[in-house]
């Protein structure tokens, strides 16, 4: 190592290690086979980032550092351990809220430090222009992310679902921005402590209100997109905190998170054929709550596991399409058992995974990984769609909107143009659902009335277990 390098240069070089781990970890998260290693690399990178930052700071009160680490680790561990496979989006929303709250608290802490410092002079005069602006941005973005994430999680849990139409919302949102700019200017430039404190409180309240106004109209079907966007915004809040603190690691890490979250948001919008402005406009998923389909079905054929097993006994190619209903019923192991049973009979079995099946990208991959479904059986939408025409049987488990042919045919449909799994091209389709209830888009599923579609009504886990039992009881292939 060059002996002429100072402590600052050494710290900057050391920061490259966790940044590299972040980049490689995110890259490996893109593939199911390497996702676990990618997650581990990200965790190690975060730990190294904390260690390098503490070393760079030099003299710090490690008692509070240890207390913070213990509290944060405990909250994170308990949150994840209590979370089910169906609540992963809620967990992501909660962690986004934590990131936003941390950024907002950093802004408040810097303001407090500037005010109470013996040589601070008046208010935030001791901070430079860049630091002052970064403080205001960190506080605003952090508060918006926090309140928006709290509301997003509440709506995902089914609470405040009716909070979709706020009279004069656009005007109110514009007013928060118009009032926020002078409030931020007063907070960082006032020469009176009380005036600066009042302006900062006003700025905080306006930012919290803006977060609520932005998320309130977003429907259940669009909420995963909003959570992804909030994840990106939380990264920007962290980067702003880095500028305010003069910490290079926060700037680099926050920028990476912000960019990755924005790319994921674009991918999700493309997978749903939705524009970001349309997501903010809201409505999709709230016009008809799940379980309350507005349109009746005229021609639906139902069957039972015994008849379905007889069809599967002569099938040579089967595709299983998992959806949110599979995760809600915790039927992933039953689906894996059915796939293994069919494979033992010489059937080619694959799982077709839609990019936004469930609640978020990768949701179904995580659910199926819990049942140790082999990676080679997981096929993405683009690769599987061209094979449905040569598929004997497709078993749809709990999916709805992502297999609805209305996306291709009905121009006025909320899901018009959305890329779907074209399961209706298969020779036979079996749909496992509790009822004919609508999906999150709140519309009728035309697939259910197709001549090649059969409904298997009941709990997904029970139906799949019955299919396995019937297959094992039949004549061996």
* Ramachandran assignment for 431, one of left (phi > 0), alpha (psi -120 to 50 degrees), beta (any other): beta
Measured CA to CA, the distance from residue 89 to residue 358 in angstroms comes to 9
Q: Which of 280, 263, 164 is nearest to 222 (CA)?
A: 280
Closest CA to 195 of 246, 126, 302, 123: 123
Tokens 């639906």 belong to residue: 300
104 contact partners, CB below 8 Å, separation of at least 6: 138, 139, 142, 143, 146, 204, 207, 237
Which of 222, 286, 401, 424 is an active site residue? 401
Phi-psi group of 31: left, alpha or beta (phi > 0 → left; psi -120 to 50 → alpha; rest → beta): beta
From the list 457, 319, 324, 294, the residue with the least C-alpha distance to 400 is 324
345, 355 contact by CB (below 8 A): no
Whether the Cβ atoms of residue 207 and residue 180 lie closer than 8 Å to each other: yes
Torsion angle of C-alpha atoms 15, 21, 22, 27, degrees rounded to 10: 150
* Residue for token pair 């904390």: 50
Q: Which two tokens stand for residue 175?
A: 């007013």
List b or e across 432-442, with b for residues whose CB sees 16 or more CB atoms inside 10 angstroms: bbeebbbbbbb
DSSP track, 275-315: -HHHHHH--TTTSS-TT--SS--S---B--HHHHHHHHHT-
Q: Who contacts 123 (Cβ-Cβ below 8 Å, separation ≥6)?
A: 114, 115, 190, 191, 192, 193, 195, 196
d(CA 244, CA 131): 5
Q: Is residue 401 among the annotated active site residues?
A: yes
Using CA atoms, how far residue 7 sits from 13, 56, 246, in Å, is: 10, 8, 15
DSSP E strand boundaries for 293-407: 317-322, 348-353, 378-380, 393-397
Which residues are annotated as catalytic? 401
């Amino acid at each position: 190592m060059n002996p002429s390098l100072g402590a600052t240069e050494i710290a900057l070089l050391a920061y490259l290690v966790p940044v590299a781990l972040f980049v490689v970890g995110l890259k490996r998260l893109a593939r199911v086979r390497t996702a676990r290693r990618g997650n581990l690399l990200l965790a190690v990178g975060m730990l190294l980032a904390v260690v390098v930052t503490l070393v760079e700071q030099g003299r710090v009160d490690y008692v509070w550092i240890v207390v913070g680490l213990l509290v944060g680790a405990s909250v994170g561990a308990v949150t994840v351990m209590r979370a089910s496979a169906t609540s992963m989006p809620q967990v992501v929303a909660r962690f986004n809220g934590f990131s936003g709250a941390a950024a907002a608290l950093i802004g408040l802490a810097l303001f407090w430090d500037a005010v109470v410092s013996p040589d601070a002079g008046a208010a935030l005069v001791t901070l430079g222009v860049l630091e002052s602006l970064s403080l205001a941005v960190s506080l605003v973005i952090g508060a918006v992310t926090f309140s928006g994430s709290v509301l997003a999680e509440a709506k995902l849990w089914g609470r405040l679902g009716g909070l979709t139409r706020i009279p004069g919302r656009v005007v109110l949102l514009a007013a928060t921005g118009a009032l926020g700019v002078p409030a931020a200017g007063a907070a960082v430039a006032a020469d009176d402590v009380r005036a600066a404190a009042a302006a900062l409180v006003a700025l905080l309240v306006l930012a919290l209100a803006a977060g609520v106004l932005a998320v309130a109209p977003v429907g259940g079907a669009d909420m995963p997109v909003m959570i992804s966007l909030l994840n990106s915004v939380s990264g920007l809040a962290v980067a702003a905190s880095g500028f305010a603190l003069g910490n290079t690691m926060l700037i680099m890490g926050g920028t990476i998170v912000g960019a990755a979250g924005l790319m994921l948001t674009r991918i999700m919008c493309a997978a749903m054929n939705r524009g970001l402005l349309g997501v903010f406009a809201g409505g999709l998923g709230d016009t008809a709550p799940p379980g309350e389909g507005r349109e009746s079905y005229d021609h639906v054929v139902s069957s039972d596991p015994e008849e379905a097993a007889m069809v599967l006994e002569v099938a040579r190619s089967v595709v299983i399409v998992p959806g949110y209903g599979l995760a809600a019923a915790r039927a992933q192991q039953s689906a894996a058992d059915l796939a293994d049973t069919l494979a033992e009979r010489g059937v080619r079995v694959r799982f077709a995974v839609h990019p936004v099946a469930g609640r978020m990208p990768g949701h179904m991959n995580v659910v199926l990984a819990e049942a140790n479904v082999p990676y080679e059986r997981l096929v993405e939408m683009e690769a599987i769609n061209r094979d449905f025409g040569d598929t004997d049987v497709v078993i749809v488990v709990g999916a709805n909107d992502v297999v609805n042919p209305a996306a291709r045919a009905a121009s006025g449909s909320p899901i018009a143009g959305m890329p779907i799994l074209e399961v209706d091209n298969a020779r036979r389709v079996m749909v496992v659902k509790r009822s004919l209830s609508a999906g999150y888009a709140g519309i009728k599923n035309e697939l259910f009335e197709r001549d090649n579609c059969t409904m298997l009504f009941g709990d997904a886990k029970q139906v799949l277990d019955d299919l396995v039992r019937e297959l094992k009881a039949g004549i061996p292939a």
